[in-house]
Chains A and B, each alone.
Chain A
Amino acid sequence: MVGIVVVSHSARLAEGVVELAREMAGDVRIEAAGGIDPPAAGAPRGLGTDAVRVMEAIEAALGPAADEPAGVLVLMDLGSAVLSAETALDLLDPAIADRVRLAAAPLVEGAVAAAVAAQAGQSLDEVAAEARGGLGPKLAHLGGGRPAETGARADESGSVGPPRDADRPGDASWQQSRFVVTVAQGLHARPAARFVRAASELDAVVEVENATTGSAPASATSLNAIATLGVREGHELIVRARGPEAAEAIVRLRQIATERAESAGADSGQDRLAPILRARQGSADSAGVDAPAGGLRGIPSSPGIAIAPLRRIGGGAAGVGAPPIAEQPSGSPDEEWAALGRARRIVRDEIAARHERLAARVGGEEAEILDALALALDDPALLDPARAAIDAGRSAGRGWADATADMVGRYRALADDYQRARADDLDDVARRVLAELAESAAPPASGAALAPAARREIGASRSRPESAPADSAFILLARDLTPLDAAGLDPATVRGIATAGGGPTSHGAILARALGVPAVVGLGDALLALADGTPAILDGAAGLLLPDPPDATRETYRERRDEAARAAAATRAVAHEPALTRDRVRIEVAANIGGAREAAEAVAAGADGVGLMRTEFAFLDRDSAPSEDEQVAIYRAAGEALAGRPLVIRTLDAGADKPLPYLGMPPEQNPFLGVRGLRLGLARPELLAAQLRAIVRVAAELPNVKLMFPMVATVEELRAARALLHGALEQSGATPREGFEVGVMVEVPAAALIADHLAAAVDFLSLGTNDLTQYVLAAERGNEHVAALADGLHPAVLRLIGEVCRAADAHGRWVGVCGELGADPAAIPLLTGLGVRELSVAAPSIPAVKAAVRALDTTAAGELAERALAAESAAAVRALVVESAGADPAAD
């Protein structure tokens, strides 16, 4: 019969648990090992655990040697109890220690369940499984449930888990939210990493289901589990949480999953991809042509032309396979586990180093791709099964390889191309760890041949291209380009990238675009047959690789490359100049920013000012609203960074669509039709009043500051806001300069239709075209089934914009646009033609918008706009714009 030992810091607790367990199973040997020797004779035993005492208890529980050696199960409370129990195993004769199991089980429930199983004559493993499942009955009764386990838990003996499904729905201890994911591309690497980080930081148990695919629940703290849910934009997600910070967890996760790509470059990988994909489908001059003889056609992935010899790296080389895996463990499970830990650490450090360099070159947003890789290294969904395999006697390499291969297979099974490409990222990280393991396992002498080969195979780009002299520029040839490879590239020597496999949504391709290196992917295995050093031309926009080009071709491409470089330089050079139409009308091209830091970036990109400063960021991720002084500091920093250029500060635009936990706003059926924007400010006047005081204080210091109210629908709202502003001026004693401008956003159709009344009471009107379009067409952009309806070029939207411009003009007010429409090349002539004089866009779009403005003539644009207002559909409007661009002799 199996014996049981109960280890606790408290002697009394251990004895109490033993008493309970004995009541259930009188024949079982159950021993208590609690507390440490009393500090003084006669005193009660101290709190703590004593390995020697645990060892003695195990011996006692084992019973006389003559008995059948059924073994002993040890249950422990927490912390050092576990260490002491492990130490006790060391102290025991190995033959005895082999018959002892330490159970990761709840102490009281586990002891009682184990005692019952032992009494029934079950084996040691069966008793251990019973103990681990000890919480089941309580969970079933109270309906607590537990977060989904991800991957295979380190529980190879098959824990008796709690009943899983009966207990969750409708359970009061779980809070739940169901919403549609609107983040571009769904929960892929970067949003998924943010999601997992947020879930891990909060004191809550969180699980997530993909309601659209009907997935099983997954733990929100496992990156792989979240990623393999296959959550795409437009999918419906169920997030369930319990614990002290459950409510906040749901709010935060919902925010992350419903962020829009409207902030500058929020998902630039996709944004920058779109024109490439369009060029590919469209009539771009070279894209429609067949590959010249001997040329290879692939998928355009990053535009630009490279002329240089090919150089092969990595897995393209024939005969080089995966890193070798030592099948035989070279030490105890603990030593194997430690070796895996060291290998993971080396790879983690490498990722961190590249992250730093990449962030310095392309900015933190793109570099976040590498964060996701680092998270994968520590993901319990990989580590738990690896640990289980190692404990079962496998080598570190085998355990890791199997665990990661399993996860890679799950990624590959996903429906979404973009997410399926993540399999390659994970595979790359997994192989790097295996290579480090092989490196450390190989004895120094004989390993010399093996380890460098393994290193070269997976990490060539870090050693070779980076150290190549500047005159040895080359086009990199590889089977695939992983994000880590791409992050290690030096654009000074890597002129282009050609890969046999991969797609344009691979992270390697995204990073190539961010680095500005021309790239073509998917060139096929023929690429790998090309010899190292072959001179070649790579045309990133056309998706062509031309090996051994004739001199004439080479000359043509060289001219095109130089011409493109001149044009790009010219665009950059004039980005900082004002944008004047051909008939000398100044259009202010400003930036939308989400924080003070972005103000400087906007100036660097050539912004004439800031047409929309969102202030929500100052209110997010905190426990209470920011103080007036904090806000002053933020607004002042933005104003100063702009050095006199205009700064339009929009008051808080929060609501049930963008909730702030500390406001305790009730959920709404239709948050977009609920208390948001100025409505919230008027419902919580203390909040808006403090913000207005902060803004007018800064406006008194800096004459470039303007104020704007969001989500105005009625004149009464505007009057109430004006009254609050008046109070703020009196309370703060601040006196902004004469002519301190106050405007409203026009995003509600009603506001557009009463623009004449609004214009009478404000200094400017700014069209929030994103929301205006959604409201006018009753179509949410985040809903894939109706997103196509929400087209800002619909004549209905344009007519409203025309109304607003006419009304503003009658009162001598100016009109701006601060939605995405302002950066749409097709919309720019229409907006300008209707009378818009300020376009506020994401900072990276500024040079292109200025270039588009400079190509315009306001008279011609006005005529075009008139025709657009009469068109019957958005498609008809687009056709008009295309036709006029083609007919315009000046548009060269």
Chain B
Amino acid sequence: MAIGTPEVVDWVRLSAAALEDERDRLNRLDADIGDGDHGANMARGFTAAAERLAAAAPETPAAALRTVGMTLLSTVGGAAGPLYGSFFIGLAGGLGDAAEVDAATWSAALTQAVAGVVRRGKAELGDKTMVDALTPAAETLEAAAGNGAAFGAALAGSAAAAETGAEATTPLVARKGRASYLGERSAGHQDPGATSSALLLRIAAETWGARDE
């Protein structure tokens, strides 16, 4: 199985819908340790990105992802804007001109995108950020792709790793972003950025993995 531009557009569209559904939960998570607008910001950004993709009809998966990145930069507003913007622009860079994406190319692109986020946010594993979900996801995908796993199964494993990583942020003390002002009090709350990252990867697995059958 491989996916093309329409599947990438589907992913963004379904992610926008899922973020709309999860808007309140993400806001609540963010309210615990931040300023409470992560759900609203993400829903706004992805809705705008989906609209722009619908209007623009990009030619390659990379072009679609770049559009998403640029849109997020301009519409999300908080730190998630440049961070997710860097993530999608990194994905686009990793894919290059490929018309179709398979497990190996997606794994390489994801690894590059996560590196971009790490560089932008200067966050490391365990800092209670989206990196805690994205890094295990990229590593799991890389291992699965290396073992020749089916793309759908690899994506599902990657999404599960992201969710586990997001859940594991709960006891951590934030070292980055606004939550770090809370110090020890940030422990006991799941990080909203890690949660939305896991959500995006879950939607990718569901949207694209269904095509395995």
What residues of chain A lie closer than 8 Å to B42, measured between beta carbons? none
What residues of chain B lie closer than 8 Å to A80, measured between beta carbons? 77-82
State A479–B120 Cα separation when bound (angstroms). 43
Q: Are A37 and B120 in touch, CB under 8 angstroms?
A: no
Q: Are A337 and B122 in touch, CB under 8 angstroms?
A: yes
State A47–B77 Cα separation when bound (angstroms). 7
What residues of chain A lie closer than 8 Å to B70, measured between beta carbons? 52
23 chain-A/chain-B pairs, Cβ below 8 angstroms: A36-B81, A48-B76, A48-B77, A48-B81, A51-B73, A51-B74, A79-B79, A79-B177, A80-B78, A80-B81, A80-B82, A83-B121, A84-B82, A87-B82, A87-B85, A87-B86, A90-B86, A334-B119, A334-B122, A338-B118, A338-B119, A342-B124, A345-B126
Q: Given contacts A36-B74, A46-B77, A51-B73, is CB(A338)–CB(B82) below 8 Å?
A: no
Contact of A83 among B41, B74, B79 (CB under 8 A): B79
Cβ-based interface call for B28 (8 A)? no
Q: For the side of the interface on A, what is the size category?
A: 20 to 34
Cβ-based interface call for B83 (8 A)? yes
Q: Are B77 and A49 in touch, CB under 8 angstroms?
A: yes
Minimum distance in angstroms from B186 CB to a CB of chain A: 15
What residues of chain B lie closer than 8 Å to A334, measured between beta carbons? 119, 122
State A90–B41 Cα separation when bound (angstroms). 22
What residues of chain B lie closer than 8 Å to A9, measured between beta carbons? 77
Q: Are A52 and B122 in touch, CB under 8 angstroms?
A: no
Scan B67-110; emit 1 where CB is below 8 A from any A CB, else 0: 00010011111111111011001000000000000000000000
Task: Give A84's nearest chain B residue, CB to CB.
Answer: B82
What residues of chain B lie closer than 8 Å to A48, measured between beta carbons? 41, 76-78, 81
Minimum distance in angstroms from B197 CB to a CB of chain A: 16
Cβ-based interface call for A86 (8 A)? yes
Q: Given contacts A36-B75, A37-B75, A46-B77, is CB(A51)–CB(B82) below 8 Å?
A: yes
Given contacts A36-B75, A87-B73, A337-B122, 17 further A-B contacts (CB under 8 A): A36-B77, A36-B81, A37-B75, A48-B41, A48-B76, A48-B81, A50-B75, A51-B73, A52-B74, A53-B74, A80-B82, A83-B79, A83-B121, A84-B81, A86-B120, A87-B85, A332-B119
State A47–B177 Cα separation when bound (angstroms). 17
What residues of chain A lie closer than 8 Å to B119, measured between beta carbons? 332, 334-335, 338
Cβ-based interface call for B178 (8 A)? yes
Q: Are A341 and B82 in touch, CB under 8 angstroms?
A: no
Cβ-based interface call for A39 (8 A)? yes
What residues of chain B lie closer than 8 Å to A337, measured between beta carbons? 122
What residues of chain A lie closer than 8 Å to B78, measured between beta carbons? 48, 79-80
State A51–B84 Cα separation when bound (angstroms). 12
Cβ-based interface call for B44 (8 A)? yes
- Per DSSP, chain A at the interface is helix
Q: Are A37 and B83 in touch, CB under 8 angstroms?
A: no
Task: Give B119's nearest chain A residue, CB to CB.
Answer: A334
What residues of chain A lie closer than 8 Å to B75, measured between beta carbons? 36-37, 50
Task: Give B76's nearest chain A residue, CB to CB.
Answer: A48
State A847–B189 Cα separation when bound (angstroms). 49
What residues of chain A lie closer than 8 Å to B122, measured between beta carbons? 334, 337-338
Minimum distance in angstroms from B51 CB to a CB of chain A: 12
Minimum distance in angstroms from B71 CB to a CB of chain A: 9
What is B's interface to A at a CB cutoff of 8 Å? 41, 44, 70, 73-83, 85-86, 89, 118-122, 124, 126, 177-178
Shortest beta-carbon contacts, A-B, top 7: A48-B77, A80-B79, A83-B82, A87-B82, A51-B73, A50-B74, A36-B77
Contact of B74 among A37, A86, A342 (CB under 8 A): A37
State A9–B41 Cα separation when bound (angstroms). 14
Contact of A39 among B44, B73, B85, B126 (CB under 8 A): B44
Minimum distance in angstroms from A363 CB to a CB of chain B: 23
Scan A332-351; emit 1 where CB is below 8 A from any B CB, else 0: 10110110011001000000
Q: Are A338 and B77 in touch, CB under 8 angstroms?
A: no
Contact of B73 among A47, A52, A332, A341 (CB under 8 A): A52
State A39–B45 Cα separation when bound (angstroms). 10
Q: Are B124 and A341 in touch, CB under 8 angstroms?
A: yes
State A338–B75 Cα separation when bound (angstroms). 29
In the complex, chain A residues 26-84 whose Cβ is within 8 Å of any chain B Cβ: 36-37, 39, 46-53, 79-80, 83-84
Minimum distance in angstroms from A340 CB to a CB of chain B: 11
Task: Give B86's nearest chain A residue, CB to CB.
Answer: A87
Among B70, B82, B122, B126, find the residue whose CB has the most chain A CB atoms closer than 10 A: B82
State A79–B41 Cα separation when bound (angstroms). 15
Contact of A51 among B81, B124, B126 (CB under 8 A): B81
Minimum distance in angstroms from A197 CB to a CB of chain B: 12
Task: Give B70's nearest chain A residue, CB to CB.
Answer: A52
State A46–B81 Cα separation when bound (angstroms). 13
State A52–B81 Cα separation when bound (angstroms). 11
What residues of chain B lie closer than 8 Å to A87, measured between beta carbons? 73, 82, 85-86, 120
Contact of A84 among B73, B121, B177 (CB under 8 A): B73
Task: Give A87's nearest chain B residue, CB to CB.
Answer: B82
What residues of chain B lie closer than 8 Å to A53, measured between beta carbons? 74
Minimum distance in angstroms from A128 CB to a CB of chain B: 21
Minimum distance in angstroms from A609 CB to a CB of chain B: 38
Q: Are A51 and B178 in touch, CB under 8 angstroms?
A: no
Minimum distance in angstroms from A721 CB to a CB of chain B: 41
State A249–B82 Cα separation when bound (angstroms). 37
Minimum distance in angstroms from A432 CB to a CB of chain B: 18
What residues of chain A lie closer than 8 Å to B44, measured between beta carbons? 39
What residues of chain A lie closer than 8 Å to B126, measured between beta carbons? 345
Q: Given contacts A39-B44, A334-B119, A338-B118, is CB(A79)–CB(B178) below 8 Å?
A: yes
Minimum distance in angstroms from A388 CB to a CB of chain B: 15
State A39–B75 Cα separation when bound (angstroms). 8
Minimum distance in angstroms from A56 CB to a CB of chain B: 10
State A342–B78 Cα separation when bound (angstroms). 27
